């Protein structure tokens, strides 16, 4: 039996588990360490209570601990391995274990248990080699910790190039690598985009986006690590290098930087209402938080997604969502997905983190060289959740892992 251990139900992972449940030759169960995301909960970075409008538990076997199940993850120590989960992992019926990171105490406990009990131990994590820690002490401690942790792992399921390089830096050999691309439910986003495309003009009109404006989309939390303000500065720069074209920024989300973003924008839509303004700042619409069932409207309304995040953005699945919806993307070179997805479309769409002039040039380049939806689809199809399910099934059936 395969036991998958996750911190909590995540909308991007659930399609994998649902598809895995359809494969009759795989006996598995997902163990959740916390109930975060199941019930409405306050997200401090969004600055509001969030409840996903898609079912996160239906269609696959899962359970929460009856002994210890906190409502959220507060730090590394908050999600420990409860007794009932420990018994499940130690049991004879459990032959394979899949962990989804090393960011909580329970994952380390399981790593030690798996070696003691001779379980096959797999890892699929999103960390990469792009973030540089400036503290030598922290760097040395992290290296020692990861060296120990990685020594416990039989198979590394790699999500992308930068993720694989991290493991290679610790001497992990190719024989231990299997591809499990970071992914979303591509078909759902493609289908929703096709449905919404006929309403594109009315969607743009509702958000007060002029028909002759090139619309730049930002989706996510308005927090420092995501650098949403870089887009405003880049549009200011575009006034100089591309003065004959109009640009509009569509901000989808909420967060601590919302006040600053609005202060530096010519806001024409907020609080579900059009707003009249004649400011000289870049024109922008603020939709607020948009849930999964409605996010496709933003991808259809825009002409380009921009992800300016720091290296804390280990991947950036909004890029997957946008490309699956037929929307091209520009991203900083600190985002994990920029090397695998964005650069594959056009190297000029990937720019150095924080360099506003470079970002402006990338946006201008994207406007002048919009890739075809066929090209976007050809690239993003390689990052569909089905590929990860296929890899898990392959590993589970291989004789050397039984």
Q: 282 burial class (0-12, 13-18, 19+ CB within 10 angstroms)?
A: buried
The DSSP letter of residue 381 is G
Q: pLDDT at residue 52 above 70? A: no
- Phi-psi domain of 14 (left: phi exceeds 0; alpha: psi -120 through 50; beta: other): alpha
- Supply the pLDDT for residue 53: 66
What are the angstrom distances between the C-alpha of 139 and each of 75, 235, 309? 19, 37, 22
Question: Considering only 89-93, 242-246, 272-276, which range has the smallest mean pLDDT?
Answer: 272-276
Using CA atoms, how far apart are residues 212 and 320, in angstroms rounded to an integer? 26
Higher pLDDT: 44 or 316? It is 316
Using CA atoms, how far apart are residues 365 and 147, in angstroms rounded to an integer? 42
Using CA atoms, how far apart are residues 187 and 345, in angstroms rounded to an integer? 20
Domains present along the chain, CATH in parentheses: 2-183+384-401 (3.40.50.2000), 186-382 (3.40.50.2000)
Q: pLDDT at residue 402 above 60? A: no
Question: Considering only 49-58, 82-91, 152-161, 173-182, which range has the smallest mean pLDDT?
Answer: 49-58
- Supply the pLDDT for residue 359: 98
pTM: 0.92
Q: Say if CB 392 and CB 26 are below 8 A apart.
A: yes
Q: pLDDT at residue 40 above 90? A: no
Using CA atoms, how far apart are residues 366 and 345, in angstroms rounded to an integer? 10
Q: What is the pLDDT of residues 114-150, one digit of tens each?
A: 776 678 899 999 999 987 766 777 788 888 999 989 9
- Supply the pLDDT for residue 134: 67
- Supply the pLDDT for residue 47: 61
Higher pLDDT: 28 or 118? It is 28
- Supply the pLDDT for residue 213: 96
């Amino acid at each position: 039996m395969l036991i998958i251990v996750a911190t909590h139900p995540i909308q991007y992972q659930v399609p994998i588990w649902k598809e895995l449940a359809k494969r009759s030759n795989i006996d598995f169960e997902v163990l959740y360490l916390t109930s975060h995301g199941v019930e409405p909960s306050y997200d401090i970075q969004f600055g509001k209570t969030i409840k996903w409008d898609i079912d996160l538990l239906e269609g696959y076997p899962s359970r929460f601990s009856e002994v210890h199940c906190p409502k959220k993850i507060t730090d590394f120590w908050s999600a420990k391995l409860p007794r009932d989960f420990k018994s499940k992992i130690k049991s004879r019926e459990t032959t394979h274990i899949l962990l989804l990171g090393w960011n909580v105490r329970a994952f380390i406990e399981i790593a030690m248990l798996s070696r003691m009990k001779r379980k096959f131990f797999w890892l699929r994590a999103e960390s990469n080699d792009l973030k540089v820690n400036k503290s030598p002490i922290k760097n040395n401690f992290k290296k020692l910790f990861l060296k120990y942790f990685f020594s416990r792992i039989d198979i590394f399921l790699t999500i992308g190039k930068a993720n694989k390089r991290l493991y290679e830096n610790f001497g992990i050999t190719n024989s231990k690598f299997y591809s499990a691309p970071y992914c979303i439910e591509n078909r759902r986003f493609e289908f929703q985009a096709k449905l919404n495309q006929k309403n594109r003009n009315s969607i743009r009109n509702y958000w007060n986006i002029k028909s002759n404006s090139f619309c730049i989309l930002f989706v996510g939390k308005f927090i420092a690590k995501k650098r949403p303000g870089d887009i405003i500065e880049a549009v200011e720069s575009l006034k100089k290098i591309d003065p004959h074209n109009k640009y509009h920024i569509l901000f989808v989300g909420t967060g601590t930087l919302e006040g600053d973003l609005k202060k530096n924008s010519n806001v024409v839509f907020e609080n579900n209402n059009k707003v009249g303004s004649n400011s000289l700042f870049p024109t922008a619409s603020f939709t607020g938080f948009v849930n999964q069932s409605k996010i496709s409207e933003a991808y259809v309304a825009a002409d380009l997604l921009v992800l300016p995040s720091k290296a804390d953005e280990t991947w950036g699945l909004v890029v997957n969502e946008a490309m699956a919806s037929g929307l091209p993307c520009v991203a900083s070179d600190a985002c994990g997905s920029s090397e695998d997805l964005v650069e594959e479309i056009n190297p000029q769409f990937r720019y150095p983190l924080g360099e506003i002039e470079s970002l402006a040039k990338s946006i201008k380049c994207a406007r002048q060289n919009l890739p075809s939806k066929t090209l976007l689809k050809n690239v993003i199809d390689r990052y569909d959740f089905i590929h990860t399910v296929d890899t898990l099934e392959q590993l589970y059936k291989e004789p050397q892992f039984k």
